Amino acid sequence: MSLTSPTMSNESRTDLLDLTSPRFKANPYPQYARLRADSPVRRTRLPDGRVAWLVARYADVAIALKDSRLAKDSRRIEGHHRGVPFERLLEPVLKSLAVNMLDLDGADHDRLRRLVHKAFTPRLVDQLRDRIQRLADGLLDSAGRSRRFDLVSGYALPIPATVIADLLGVPATDRDRFHRWSSRMVSITSGRDFLLALPTALLFMRYLRRLFAVRRAEPREDLITALIQAQEAGDHLSSDELLSMVFLLLVAGHETTVNLIASGTLALLERPDALAWLRNEPDLLASGSAIEELLRFTSPVQIATERYAVEDVQLSGTTIPRGSMVLALIASANHDEAQFVDPERLDLRRTPNPHLAFGQGAHYCLGAPLARLEAQIAFETLLRRLPELQLAISPAQVRWRRGLFLRGPTALPVRVGTSTQVAA
């Protein structure tokens, strides 16, 4: 079955695939399957007016994530203007957020990545285990006093948001504020959204600059202080690089993990057999097997951020012209039947599991060890402390966040049952 009528033009067909809408986000996988079967590399127009090439098959997505012909830095495309017209008008205002390692290649990317990677090594991340456990237990202490609560705002969000705030040195009292700001920023899908979010971006930037001034005057043992004082091979961060780096770490450091915990919990509650299996075999969490499968199955990052073809690139027999923007559909790749046996089944023992949830290559997610640890503790604690956890609404009533790149519920009302807690 094709996505549209065969009589429609290529561009009008692709226009019907709104990758940003909550309705699409509720269950994108059937349409991803049709893309893989019918047009694994296809041109589309995004809601903001930009034209992009979608890459849907696992083999092609794996190439796109690490192929040097697909650059992150749009400035490598001669004559290319970053963004769409309304963004270009506001470029002088927002240029400070554009100098980040997510949108750079080669030596520029490597220099910025080196400045922060030491804070996210598995050894140092493991030292956060007790802090994360205390957070999870404290949140469920509060939840256990109520028969019903929102798993997103009451559990999935506070764990990663608090941890990244602690690491950076953002006051805990400001956690909810920066999450509201970051959620607004990652939900932009149109020119109208962009203009409405501009005050949020300016507030976020002003807040960070004030925090930097405080840390310069009163250094602490946190990542912001370390970045301010950073010197790697004699190279300091510029003021724009510092602002962009901290902005990126705050947003990327919690948004995806919120989605993993919330979407993963929903997936388990919808599948009682898998949930019972996990309760009976908690080693599946300790070993990492269950977390890897939940990462694959829910794909918190649905689409990798933009890449640009610095030359013609051929994938699955289709040529992507030089200068084109390319979007690698990570969620589609993670459900590709050519790579995974029975991909629509949540198999918590799946092995091997070469999912692409954290990307590949030079831009592989820096925070992957932290996300895995947060998710492991969050799920283990939730299943142990709330054995009668249930959805408080039907799955069809779950509302999904807007935005191009991420997928997760805006809220997840749950009931904790009559016996709300067991021994911590």
Inform me whether the pLDDT recorded for 129 exceeds 60.
Answer: yes
* CA dist., res. 82 & res. 89, Å (int): 11
CB 102 within 8 A of CB 305: yes
Cβ neighbours of 215 (radius 10 Å)? 19
Inform me whether the pLDDT recorded for 360 exceeds 60.
Answer: yes
Which pLDDT value is given to residue 255? Answer: 87
Cis status of the peptide bond prior to 352, with omega within 30 of 0: yes
Which pLDDT value is given to residue 228? Answer: 87
For residue 348, what are the CA distances in angstroms to 293, 297, 408? Answer: 6, 10, 20
Q: Does residue 218 sit in helix, strand or coil? A: coil
423 — pLDDT class (breaks 50, 70, 90)? very low
Encode pLDDT of 229-286 as tens digits: 875 556 778 888 888 888 888 888 888 999 999 999 999 999 999 999 999 998 999 9
**DSSP code for 232:** B
* CA dist., res. 83 & res. 99, Å (int): 14
Inform me whether the pLDDT recorded for 55 exceeds 60.
Answer: yes
- Which option is the CATH number for 10-415: 1.10.4160.10, 3.40.50.1820, 3.60.21.10, 1.10.630.10? 1.10.630.10
**Helix ranges (DSSP H) in 100-150:** 106-117, 122-126, 129-143
CB 190 within 8 A of CB 48: yes
| Helix axes of 129-143 and 158-168: crossing angle, nearest 10 degrees | 140
Q: Does residue 72 sit in helix, strand or coil? A: coil
What's the chain's average pLDDT?
87
By C-alpha distance, which of 274, 303, 300 is closest to 289? Answer: 274
Which pLDDT value is given to residue 15? Answer: 43
* CA dist., res. 2 & res. 373, Å (int): 40
Which pLDDT value is given to residue 154? Answer: 94
Q: For every residue of 7-59, which 3-state class applies, written as one string? A: CCCHHHHHHCCCCCCHHHHHCCHHHHHHHHHHCCEEEEECCCCCEEEEECCHH
341 — pLDDT class (breaks 50, 70, 90)? very high
Inform me whether the pLDDT recorded for 204 exceeds 90.
Answer: no
Q: Does residue 96 sit in helix, strand or coil? A: helix
The model's pTM: 0.90
421, burial (CB in 10 Å: exposed 0-12, middle 13-18, buried 19+):
middle
By C-alpha distance, which of 48, 55, 42, 31 is closest to 8? Answer: 42
> pLDDT over 70 for what percent of the chain?
87
Query: CB-hemisphere CA count at 13 Å for 406?
Result: 25
> pLDDT over 90 for what percent of the chain?
62
For residue 372, what are the CA distances in angstroms to 163, 366, 368? Answer: 13, 12, 6
Identify the residue with better confidence: 38 or 424: 38
Give ∠ CA 5-11-17 in degrees, rounded to 5. Answer: 70
- List the chain domain ranges: 10-415
Please tell me the least confidently modeled range out of 150-154, 229-233, 318-322, 361-365.
Answer: 229-233
Encode pLDDT of 271-319 as tens digits: 999 999 999 998 999 999 999 999 999 999 999 999 999 999 999 999 9
Which pLDDT value is given to residue 185? Answer: 74
Please report the beta strands in 179-250, taking only residues with DSSP state E, as ranges in sequence order: none
Q: What is the mean pLDDT of residues 22-30?
A: 94
Q: What is the mean pLDDT of residues 119-144?
A: 92
At residue 390, what are phi and psi to the nearest 5 degrees?
-140, 155
Which pLDDT value is given to residue 115? Answer: 87
